[in-house]
Amino acid sequence: LHLSHAQVDLCIEAFGTSKQKRALNSRRMNAVGNDILNTAVTKAAANVIDAKGVTALIQDVAQDDVQNMSMFLPPCHEDADKPEHVYKFEDILSPAEFEALQGPAAAFVNITPEEITKKTEEKSHCSFVLEELKFLPVDEKSRDHKARCLWFLDILIKFSFLKVIKKKYPMGPECPHIISRKLMKNFTSLTYNNGSVQNLISASMKTKITAYVIALALHINNFQVDLTILQNDMKLQESRMMDIAKAMRLKVSKAKGLPGLESDQNHRLGTLSLPLPVLKASGSQRKRKKMN
């Protein structure tokens, strides 16, 4: 697909990095406006974007992704005195959102071993959640807290598989409206397609969902999490998962034969502990600098 300059400009407008957009704006300021031509070209380019729009955005501006990964991570409180304050729980779920999860999570609170077996056979939840449901605390308050977190984590992972979101409440009627609004507002990109605006889950939004899933899993699991189980649940490449985990300042170690997966698969454990490791530039960034 060969694009003219004007079509490239429109693609930059829709999907470009902030740097590309700034360059485009200054170039436009210097150009003499030829309105009639511009209108015709804009129409032509809009057709190209309609044809390419969704795919282009799902692939996202990949080069931007690693450099600006921190934009998609939950707020990190580097000066925290305890692991639980590095990624604050309220930054993942506000008190009102947590409150709203009581209803849907009630089924988890009272779950029986038979129901867990049945859900595992049906694969109705991701393996991380099915595994954690086997170890709900006896204490009522802790049990309820963990059940709500697991319910939300499961919804986040299911949401990450939607590409273009057509419905206002994509996760169905049992998902509280405040949670649906949170998903749409925080974890989707807006794109122009067929003359209308759509919400979709681009690559950077998938990164953001993954980061929030990891942060929540750390809170659920005493600040150590099996990244391999989450990676399999989210159908991510290991390198992608490791990039995100390292950007989140986790210490990554190998572990063998954890419950829930084949023992021959080396599992990666992510631990959040203080002091936080120093953030290094990732390999793909170094390669890019050489290329430029």
Greater confidence (122 vs 54) lies with: 122
Of the pLDDT bands very low, low, confident and very high (cuts 50, 70, 90), residue 291 is very low
Structure tokens belonging to residue 175:
């998902």
The model carries a pTM of: 0.72
Average pLDDT over the chain, rounded to an integer: 79
Highest mean pLDDT among 52-56, 69-73, 232-236, 252-256: 232-236
Greater confidence (253 vs 32) lies with: 253
Q: How far are the Cα atoms of 112, 219, 264 from residue 170, in angstroms, in the given order?
A: 28, 26, 37
Structure tokens belonging to residue 59:
């692939």
Indicate the helix (H) or strand (E) that contains 232: helix 227-234
What confidence tens digit (pLDDT) does each residue in 210-251 have? 999 999 999 998 898 999 999 999 999 888 899 899 888 888
Contact 274, 238 (CB under 8 A): no
For residue 158, the model assigns a pLDDT of 93
Alpha-carbon span 187 to 212, nearest angstrom: 10
What confidence tens digit (pLDDT) does each residue in 24-40 have? 776 666 554 555 555 66
For residue 91, the model assigns a pLDDT of 92
DSSP string, 156-197: HHHHHT-SEE-SSSTT-TTS-HHHHHHHHHHH-EEEEETTEE
pLDDT at residue 116 greater than cutoff 80: yes
pLDDT at residue 168 greater than cutoff 90: no
| Cβ-Cβ contacts under 8 Å for 286 (sequence gap 6 or more) | none
